[in-house]
Amino acid sequence: MMLTLELRYVAHVAMLTGNILKEPWQTNATTVRELISELDVHYGGFIKMFIDQETNGLCLNATIYYNKEGQSPMSILDLDYPLSDNAIVTFW
């Protein structure tokens, strides 16, 4: 099922996107990790910036905030966290 997300890019992450700060995104990704891989194909550099190659977890100098529609943002540590339709994902 295709999901519609709002993606936001803060600080140095916006350099990867060509200074796009916010965009709607349609995806078949089901987890944050799959979304990062998809963004890496589209923009380049997302895997290196967000996934620690030794631990396969979130890089210690990266932050991802996630909020489902109508909820407050929360920090994501688990890259296999499931995505939901109309969520906002902020990469920092």
Instruction: Give me the pLDDT at residue 1, please.
Output: 83
Quick: pLDDT tens for 19-72. Answer: 999 999 999 999 999 999 999 999 999 999 999 999 999 999 999 999 998 899
Domain segments of the chain as ranges: 30-91
What is the side-by-side order of every strand in the sheet holding 3-9?
22-27, 3-9, 88-91, 64-67, 74-75
Distance of CA 69 to the CA centre of its chain: 16
Separation between Cα atoms, residue 8 and residue 72, nearest integer Å: 15
- Name the residue among 25, 5, 22, 4 with its Cα closest to residue 13: 22
Model pLDDT for residues 11-29, shown as the tens digit of each residue:
999 999 999 999 999 999 9
